[in-house]
Amino acid sequence: MTNLSLHDFADDVAEVIKRLGAGQAVLVGHAYGNWIARMTAVDHPHLVRGVVIAAAAARQIAPELTAAVTKAGDVTLKDADRLAALRFAFFAPGNDASIWLSGWHPHVRDVQRAAASAVNQNEWWSAGSVPLLELQAAQDPFKPENKRNEMKDEFGDRVTVVIIPDASHALIPEQPAAVVDALAGWIAGLP
């Protein structure tokens, strides 16, 4: 798990598609995973039918969000401190942030950050030329309201934006049914 880049992760996804899919796949990348999904579409366009970017950050984010991710995943901190970071960066008010207190692996976070740093954002940002569904959480600090149309403005009609209410950056555990409905509807309309 050293000297990896998003290209390596994209190659892994492509291998899974080849072995299990025998065709084109619709990739769903949540948060960090959207970078890998987009990189896969750039590096292996013949294997990707469309990309769903779920709770994707804006092109540039505030430094306090990166700090909150680090704090949320720092298993040496008190739960109260980690919960505060989870509530700030990941969960909308009223949603249970405690469900994400476990399952953090700081060494994996470090590998992910190094892999992302090894690739210029412009290499993966476009997701090639495939259709894109951007699932935005209405209260996601990583995608503030003034950045809602960032992808649509840049890539036009190949981007469909769906805003999921009562959710933040965690999105999927917050509003699973709404996410599934949006995915199913969009995928059914793909050529």
Per-residue pLDDT of 97-115, as tens digits, reads 999 999 999 899 899 999 9
Give residues with Cβ within 8 angstroms of 33, minimum separation 6.
54
pLDDT band at 155; cut points 50, 70, 90: very high
Residue 22 above 80 pLDDT? no
Asked if 22 and 135 count as a contact pair (C-beta separation under 8 A), the reply is no
Show the domains of the chain with their CATH numbers: 6-188 (3.40.50.1820)
pLDDT band at 124; cut points 50, 70, 90: very high
Nearest to 38 by CA among 127, 112, 113, 134: 127
For 96, how many CA atoms within 13 A lie in the half-sphere containing its CB? Answer: 3
Tell me the average pLDDT across 167-178. 98
Asked if 182 and 170 count as a contact pair (C-beta separation under 8 A), the reply is no
CA distances from 138 to 33, 63, 111, 134, 178 (A): 19, 20, 29, 12, 12
Residue type, 64: E
pLDDT at residue 1 in the model: 86
Question: Residues for the chain: how many in total?
Answer: 191
pLDDT at residue 139 in the model: 98
% of the chain at pLDDT higher than 70: 100
Tell me the average pLDDT across 84-99. 98
Tell me the average pLDDT across 74-95. 97
Residue 21 above 90 pLDDT? no
Tell me the average pLDDT across 162-187. 98
47 CB neighbour count, 10 Å cutoff: 20
pLDDT tens digit string along 25-52? 999 999 999 999 999 999 999 999 999 9
The kind and range of the H/E element at 10 are helix 6-16
40 CB neighbour count, 10 Å cutoff: 30
pLDDT at residue 161 in the model: 98
Question: The whole model's pTM is what?
Answer: 0.94
Give residues with Cβ within 8 angstroms of 139, minimum separation 6.
92, 93, 166, 167, 168
138 phi/psi in degrees, rounded to 5: -60, -25
Residue 150 above 80 pLDDT? yes
